[in-house]
């Protein structure tokens, strides 16, 4: 139980995917202009990352390792994640149109995002078991969501702030992201690994 | 040999399987939109100008299909689009609403405006500014000349004025319009 908690704290705060590992920067900067879209994106990421962790773990341990084809990881993981997300999107469109309306736009955006692929590859690297892998994926997504939603809140406030003309737009956004990353460095002593 | 063949085989089979799975799923979980609405939307010029009184081409297509709107409201599409839509819907073609020969903009006579905000609500492109009991002004640059604001005005203080033909927003006249004939006349004199 303690192990699981450790994994969760480690991946949510200490080794945060965006601010410590620098994965998934693209959606972090791209979809954070409005809190509303950021929340939609956050839920989509949670869903996809957990799904990706579980499915790639199965592929890795039940297909690639027995055949000795571990070096095909990257290609295989992309194939599996992209197809599964596409499949789920179709099923969702048919069975849960409301959910699809909320998540639908974001799902194809993040199918083979580097953070999603990163979760899959790190799971293998860390030699986690199936449940731990799922937890790791969920934790990574929760960490991503926390950062994304806070950042979007910051950006919304910055819109109304008297920013000097030279720093308006992208520069102040990037500076804010850097400062957030510095702030998250404060967690680095919390858990080892 | 199997060192080379094995990964190729595994990847090919996996790719094929996932491809088949997606193909089957796309048939199985197909969502039926209204095909008529989609084909009408395809006929429309997709300029999203709002001159039909709907917030874009797709909403107008939806309104046509559900019978809320006539087939003849698309100004940029003109008669050609109207005929195609009427054909698709199986209704009698209707004369297109007359396109103004020259671009028009709305103008509010400020001393008569009572500040009722009705025209602000009617404007599809938010080109009228003003507040309750303050008189309103049309932003001429944003006005599309759709005349939607003229009707709701209770004191009839909105005029449609012809925009002066200035060099910065001059464009070639469409062939066959009154403007084109006028230009031809000016250049070559009366034929």
Domain boundaries, chain B: 35-89, 101-165
Cβ proximity of B61 and B44 under 8 Å: yes
Percent of chain B with pLDDT over 70: 87
**Which residue in A67, A86, A97 is closest to B22 by CB distance?**
A86
**Inter-chain touch B10–A75, beta carbons under 8 Å:** no
Chain A: residues touching B (Cβ < 8 Å):
63, 67, 69, 72, 75-76, 79-80, 83, 86-87, 90-91, 93-95, 97
Q: What's the CATH fold of domain B35-89?
A: 3-methyladenine DNA Glycosylase II; Chain A, domain 3 (1.10.15)
Query: Is residue A86 over pLDDT 90?
Result: no
Tell whether B11 lies on the interface with A, counting CB pairs under 8 A: yes
Query: Is residue B34 over pLDDT 90?
Result: no
Structure pTM?
0.59
Q: In terms of C-beta distances under 8 Å and separation of at least 24 residues, what long-range contacts does B58-62 make, across chains too?
A: B61/B37, B62/B37
Query: Is residue B182 over pLDDT 70?
Result: yes
Distance in Å, alpha carbon of A114 to nearest chain B alpha carbon: 21
**Inter-chain touch B14–A79, beta carbons under 8 Å:** yes
Provide the pLDDT for residue B97.
59
- Least confident piece of the model among A29-33, A119-123, A181-185: A29-33
Cβ proximity of B117 and B136 under 8 Å: yes
B-chain residues near A72 (CB < 8 A)? 7, 10-11
Query: Residue A119 and residue A57: Cα distance in Å, rounded?
Result: 10
Q: What is the mean pLDDT of residues A94-106?
A: 74
Tell whether B26 lies on the interface with A, counting CB pairs under 8 A: yes
Query: Is residue B100 over pLDDT 80?
Result: no
Query: Residue B131 and residue B97: Cα distance in Å, rounded?
Result: 32
**Inter-chain touch A72–B11, beta carbons under 8 Å:** yes
Percent of chain A with pLDDT over 70: 97
Provide the pLDDT for residue B27.
86
Phi-psi group of B177: left, alpha or beta (phi > 0 → left; psi -120 to 50 → alpha; rest → beta): beta
Query: Is residue A5 over pLDDT 80?
Result: yes
- Least confident piece of the model among A96-110, A111-125, B136-150: A96-110
A-chain residues near B14 (CB < 8 A)? 63, 76, 79-80
The DSSP bridge partners found for residue B138 are B128
Q: What chain B residue is nearest to A76 in terms of C-alpha separation?
A: B11
Higher model confidence: residue B180 or residue A46? A46
For B159, the enclosing helix (H) or strand (E) is strand B158-162
**Inter-chain touch B22–A69, beta carbons under 8 Å:** no
Tell whether B24 lies on the interface with A, counting CB pairs under 8 A: no
Higher model confidence: residue A182 or residue B56? A182
End-to-end Cα separation, chain B, in angstroms: 85
**Inter-chain touch A93–B31, beta carbons under 8 Å:** yes
Tell whether B27 lies on the interface with A, counting CB pairs under 8 A: no
ipTM of the prediction? 0.74
Picking from B5, B15, B16, B17, the residue whose alpha carbon sits closest to that of residue A67 is B5
Q: What is the mean pLDDT of residues A181-187?
A: 89
Query: Residue A42 and residue A141: Cα distance in Å, rounded?
Result: 7
**Inter-chain touch B11–A75, beta carbons under 8 Å:** yes
Percent of chain A with pLDDT over 90: 35
The two counts, helices (H) then strands (E), for chain A are 10, 0
Q: Alpha carbon A51 to chain centroid distance?
A: 12
DSSP B105: E
Query: Is residue B126 over pLDDT 90?
Result: no
CATH annotation of B101-165: 3.30.70.20
**Which residue in B10, B21, B22 is closest to A67 by CB distance?**
B10
Provide the pLDDT for residue B169.
62
pLDDT tens for each residue of B76-92: 777 788 888 888 888 88
Identify from A59, A73, A79 which residue to disrupt to test chain B contact, counting B C-beta atoms within 10 A and taking the largest count: A79
Q: Read out DSSP for A10-75?
A: IIIIIT-TTTTS--SHHHHHHS-SSHHHHHHHHHHHHHHHHHHHHHHHHHIIIIIHHHT-GGGHHH
Cβ count near A23 (within 10 Å): 21
DSSP A113: -
The DSSP bridge partners found for residue B105 are B161
Distance in Å, alpha carbon of A68 to nearest chain B alpha carbon: 9
For B34, phi then psi, to 5°, come to -75, 115
pLDDT tens for each residue of A127-180: 889 999 999 999 999 999 999 999 999 999 988 888 898 998 889 999 999 999
Residue A22 burial (10 A CB sphere; 0-12, 13-18, 19+): middle
């Amino acid at each position: 139980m303690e192990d699981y908690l450790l994994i969760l704290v480690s991946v949510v705060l200490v080794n945060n995917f965006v601010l410590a590992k620098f994965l998934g920067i693209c959606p972090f900067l791209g979809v954070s202009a409005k809190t509303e879209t950021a929340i939609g994106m956050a839920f989509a990421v949670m869903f996809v990352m957990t799904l990706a962790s579980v499915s790639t773990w199965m592929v890795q341990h039940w297909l690639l390792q027995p055949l000795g084809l571990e070096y095909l990881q990257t290609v295989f993981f992309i194939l599996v994640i992209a197809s599964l997300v596409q499949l789920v999107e179709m099923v969702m469109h048919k069975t849960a149109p409301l959910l699809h309306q909320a998540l639908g736009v974001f799902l194809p955006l993040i199918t083979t995002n580097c953070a999603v692929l990163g979760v899959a590859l790190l799971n293998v690297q860390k030699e986690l078991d199936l449940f731990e892998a799922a937890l790791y994926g969920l934790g990574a997504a929760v960490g991503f969501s926390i950062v994304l939603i806070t950042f979007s809140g910051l950006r919304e406030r910055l819109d109304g702030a008297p920013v000097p003309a030279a720093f308006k737009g992208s520069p102040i956004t990037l500076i804010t992201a850097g400062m957030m990353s510095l702030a998250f460095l404060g967690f680095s002593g919390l858990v080892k690994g | 040999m199997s060192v080379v063949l094995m990964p190729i085989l595994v990847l090919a089979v996996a790719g094929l399987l996932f491809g088949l799975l997606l193909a089957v799923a796309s048939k199985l979980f197909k969502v039926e939109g209204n095909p008529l609405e989609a084909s009408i939307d395809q006929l429309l010029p997709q300029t999203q100008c709002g001159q039909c009184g709907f917030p874009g081409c797709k909403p107008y297509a939806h309104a046509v299909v559900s019978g809320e709107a006539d087939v003849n409201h698309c100004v940029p599409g003109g008669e050609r689009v109207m005929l195609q839509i009427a054909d698709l819907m199986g209704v009698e073609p209707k004369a297109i609403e007359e396109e103004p020969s020259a671009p028009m903009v709305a103008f509010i006579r400020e001393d008569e405006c009572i500040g009722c905000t009705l025209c602000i609500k009617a404007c599809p492109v938010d080109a009228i500014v003003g507040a309750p009991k303050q008189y309103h002004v049309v932003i001429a640059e944003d006005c599309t000349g759709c005349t939607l604001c003229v009707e709701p005005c209770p004191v009839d203080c909105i005029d449609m004025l012809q925009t002066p033909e200035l060099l910065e927003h001059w464009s070639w006249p469409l062939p066959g319009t009154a403007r084109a004939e006028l230009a031809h006349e000016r250049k070559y004199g009366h034929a």
